């Protein structure tokens, strides 16, 4: 059975590889990786590792690797379709027409919930548009929302009756169990069904495919709780969804802006800031962070600036950093939320704030500075030690150096002393979290069981190029211009390039774990091996250019060999002279490229 690439990718994203593998393998964190004894071959020392930020596994002993899908295929001895069903079932994703009776029943329930959610959304929308919705309409207009925006986001109103929605849905043939499973109705102690949502503005929650999977409700007055959300259901889990992502992922912007509430998202989209999303009544989760990483080159976090908002921002930054996101923090003056700021100052000024969002390091150090009053030398020492801790924990050496210089100047201390302290702390951190040595238990130098046939000259370089392109989608235009699909010499790499280039042209993004979804196990294992053994590159732009240069050298050298043979066999002097000139020009280009290496 065929499933869309979008659906396969949703299944992969929803299944955290650490959670899945942990149920089969005892894992221990070492640096940025997790290690354990490989479940696919016998070993005494762990060589099986997982990169949580990249969501793939690799064994340096047997060379098996891939995404969470390949792991389940291997560990459960399932084919691709069965592994996909296994993982989809785990997170409540509906796959079309399962053949298994139990699965068919679960799928039927999910489809029924999606259908009844659609009916509920129509009911809420009609209530808002009717005579009982005049007060709510006034509230939304006072918040600055237009009719077009209300319609776009499907906003509605839950009436103040105890069971208006429940009675309506029952009259249309819905069963009581379905109303309870969907979270739209509750059962009282005396067994009566009542509405979960009453007298609230209703916000339908959409998945990335446009299905209504749940609802959020907000009171108009000052009663509590201010917000109420659907419970987890067979189609909805608040920790795995982002409000507004169904629209934001279509934005031409390469970034996503995380805000706190539904109204912030809606106001921003109305102001043509169409890349805003919100977590759903919960702190940002790791699953949400990986989704953000997939859809954005840059993630900007814009939580409230009060104490709770600041704590949420710091937690969110740690989670986003773990997922490998490029992060900035938006600071809104006077503690306003985005909705309020736009209403008072207009969208252009808010866009200027977005452009001036500060880096992850800047924000962490600002928070630390606010915790010290700096009246005494002792206070300054404590702050500088805290700054040194933050800088030491930061992996980007260029940013570390720039910030170290900046803070040495700010506080009137020598660059050497601050640098020395940062390096000492960094050495301690590295020693404490010393990663497992990859030289032990590796299969390098012996026959590799999970490696496809590759071209001996071009294969590895072309695979490295594909991995780097997955890591840095922004370089696609450059790479595709210099090395088109037709340029690939290795047949397998060429087929993979065709799939990757197509995704990047269509969706503008593709991470390695996503590409692994459509590869043969041997190809997936080899790509992950390449990723693991080329993972410490700080200047990816330079590294990609070097790969392109090496590939060009190989092609030019092949052409030189052909030219030599042609000259040997050519009797026409003029043609021989022309071939000689071509040979000389290529030789100059080869020499130039080798100097750049």
pLDDT digits (tens, 9 = 90+) for 117-129: 999 999 999 999 9
Q: For the ranges 30-44, 217-231, 467-481, 527-541, which has the lowest average pLDDT?
A: 527-541
Quick one: tokens of 442? 């590796």
Q: Which has the closest alpha carbon to 24: 88, 100, 86, 85?
A: 86
Distance (Å, whole) CA 404 – CA 419: 7
Distance (Å, whole) CA 264 – CA 280: 12
Looking at residues 405-410, what average pLDDT do you find?
86
pLDDT at 436: 41
C-beta of residue 268 within 8 angstroms of C-beta of residue 330: no
Which segments of 15-79 does DSSP mark as H helices, in order?
Answer: 17-22, 68-75
pLDDT at 182 over 80: yes
Residues 186-222 have pLDDT tens digits of 999 999 999 999 999 999 999 887 899 999 999 988 8
Quick one: tokens of 403? 């910030």
pLDDT classification of 281: cutoffs 50, 70, 90: low
Mean confidence (pLDDT) of the chain: 86
pLDDT classification of 266: cutoffs 50, 70, 90: very high
**Exposed/middle/buried for residue 411 (C-beta within 10 Å: 0-12, 13-18, 19+):** middle
SS3 407: helix
pLDDT at 210: 87
SS3 464: helix
Share of the chain above pLDDT 70, in %: 93
pLDDT at 495 over 70: yes
Q: At what angle do helices 262-270 and 338-345 cross, to 10 degrees?
A: 30
Distance (Å, whole) CA 58 – CA 587: 41
pLDDT at 256 over 60: yes
pLDDT at 77 over 60: yes
Q: Which has the closest alpha carbon to 324: 35, 595, 54?
A: 54
Q: Point out which residues pair with 58 in neighbouring strands.
A: 49, 65
Q: For the ranges 92-106, 165-179, 329-343, 526-540, which has the lowest average pLDDT?
A: 92-106
CATH number assigned to the domain covering 102-236:
3.90.980.10
Q: Phi, psi at residue 23, to the nearest 5°?
A: -80, -5
C-alpha of 429 from chain center: 27
Tokens 């840059």 locate to 298
Q: Which has the closest alpha carbon to 381: 403, 426, 424, 411?
A: 411
Distance (Å, whole) CA 278 – CA 262: 7
Residues 24-75 have pLDDT tens digits of 888 998 888 899 999 888 888 899 999 888 899 999 888 899 999 999 998 8
C-beta of residue 328 within 8 angstroms of C-beta of residue 296: no
Q: At what angle do helices 521-533 and 68-75 cross, to 10 degrees?
A: 130
pLDDT classification of 307: cutoffs 50, 70, 90: low
pLDDT at 162: 93
Instruction: Give 565's contacts (C-beta < 8 A, 6+ positions apart).
Output: none
* 31-66 per-residue burial string, b: 16 or more CB within 10 A, e: under 16: ebbbbbbbebbebeebbbbbbbbbbbbbbbbbbbbb
Q: Which has the closest alpha carbon to 488: 513, 510, 455, 516?
A: 455
Distance (Å, whole) CA 149 – CA 256: 20
What's the topology of domain 242-357?
A: Dna Topoisomerase Vi A Subunit; Chain: A, domain 2 (3.40.1360)
* 179-190 per-residue burial string, b: 16 or more CB within 10 A, e: under 16: bebbbbbbeeee
- Domain positions in the chain are 5-91, 102-236, 242-357, 372-432, 542-596
pLDDT at 282: 65
C-beta of residue 255 within 8 angstroms of C-beta of residue 300: yes
pLDDT at 442: 41
461-68-475 Cα angle (round to 5): 35
pLDDT at 451 over 80: no
Share of the chain above pLDDT 90, in %: 46
pLDDT at 448: 45
pLDDT at 106: 77
Residues 131-178 have pLDDT tens digits of 999 999 999 999 999 999 999 999 999 999 999 999 999 999 999 999
First to last CA, the chain: 48
- CATH (one of 3.40.50.1220, 1.10.10.60, 3.90.580.10, 3.90.700.10) for 5-91: 3.90.580.10
pLDDT at 374 over 80: no
pLDDT at 124: 97
Distance (Å, whole) CA 143 – CA 137: 10
Is the link from the previous residue into 225 a cis peptide, with omega within 30 of 0? yes
* 538-567 per-residue burial string, b: 16 or more CB within 10 A, e: under 16: eeeeebbbbbbbbbbbbbeeeeeeebeeeb
Tokens 């047949």 locate to 491
């Amino acid at each position: 059975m065929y499933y869309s690439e979008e659906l396969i990718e949703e299944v992969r994203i929803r299944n955290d590889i650490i959670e899945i593998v942990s149920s089969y393998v005892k894992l221990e964190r070492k640096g940025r990786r997790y290690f354990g004894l490989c479940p696919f071959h016998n070993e005494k020392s762990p060589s099986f590792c997982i990169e949580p930020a990249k969501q793939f596994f690799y064994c340096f002993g047997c060379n098996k690797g891939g995404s969470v899908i390949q792991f389940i295929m291997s560990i459960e001895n399932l084919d691709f379709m069965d592994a996909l069903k296994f993982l989809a079932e785990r997170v409540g994703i509906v796959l079309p027409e399962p053949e298994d009776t139990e699965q068919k029943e679960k799928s039927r329930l999910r489809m029924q919930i999606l259908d009844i959610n659609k009916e509920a959304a129509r009911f809420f929308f009609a209530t808002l548009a009717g005579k009982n919705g005049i007060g709510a309409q006034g509230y939304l207009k006072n918040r600055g929302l237009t009719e077009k925006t209300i319609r776009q986001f499907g906003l509605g109103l839950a009436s103040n009756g105890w069971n208006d929605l429940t009675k309506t849905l029952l009259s249309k043939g819905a069963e009581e169990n379905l109303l309870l499973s969907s979270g739209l109705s509750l059962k009282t102690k005396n067994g009566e069904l009542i509405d979960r949502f009453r007298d609230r503005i209703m916000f339908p929650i959409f998945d990335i495919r446009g299905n209504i999977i749940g609802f959020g409700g907000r009171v108009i007055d000052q009663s509590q709780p201010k917000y109420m959300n659907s419970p987890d259901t067979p189609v909805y889990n608040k920790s795995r969804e982002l409000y507004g992502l169904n629209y934001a992922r279509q934005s031409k912007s390469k970034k996503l802006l995380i805000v706190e509430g539904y109204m912030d998202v809606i106001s921003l989209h109305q102001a043509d800031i169409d890349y805003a999303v919100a977590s759903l009544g919960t702190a940002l989760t790791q699953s949400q962070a990986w989704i953000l990483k997939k859809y954005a080159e840059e993630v900007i976090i814009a939580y409230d600036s009060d104490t709770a908002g600041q704590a949420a921002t710091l937690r969110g930054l740690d989670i986003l950093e773990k997922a490998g996101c490029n992060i900035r923090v938006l600071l809104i003056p006077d503690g306003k939320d985005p909705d309020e700021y736009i209403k008072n100052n207009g969208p252009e000024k808010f866009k200027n704030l977005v452009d001036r969002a500060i880096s992850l390091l800047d924000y962490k150090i600002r928070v630390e500075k606010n915790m010290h009053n700096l009246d005494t030398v002792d206070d300054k020492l404590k702050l500088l030690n805290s700054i040194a801790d933050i800088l030491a924990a930061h992996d980007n050496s260029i940013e570390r150096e720039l910030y170290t210089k900046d803070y040495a100047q700010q506080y009137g201390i020598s660059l050497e002393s601050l640098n020395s302290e940062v390096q000492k702390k960094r050495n301690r951190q590295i020693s404490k979290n010393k990663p497992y040595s990859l030289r032990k238990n590796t299969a390098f130098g012996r026959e590799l069981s999970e490696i496809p046939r590759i071209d001996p000259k071009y294969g590895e370089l072309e695979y490295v190029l594909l991995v780097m392109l997955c890591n840095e989608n922004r370089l696609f235009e450059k790479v595709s211009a210099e090395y088109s699909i037709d340029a690939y010499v290795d047949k397998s790499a060429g087929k993979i390039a065709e799939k990757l280039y197509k995704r990047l042209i269509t969706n503008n993004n593709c991470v390695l774990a996503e590409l692994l979804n459509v590869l043969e196990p041997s190809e997936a294992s080899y790509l992950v091996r390449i990723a693991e053994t080329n993972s410490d590159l700080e200047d990816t732009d330079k590294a990609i250019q070097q790969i392109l240069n090496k590939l060009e050298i190989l092609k030019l050298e092949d052409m030189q060999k052909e030219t030599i043979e042609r000259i040997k066999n050519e009797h026409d002097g003029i043609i021989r002279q022309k071939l000689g000139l071509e040979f000389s020009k290529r030789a100059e280009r080869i020499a130039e490229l080798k100097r750049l290496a």
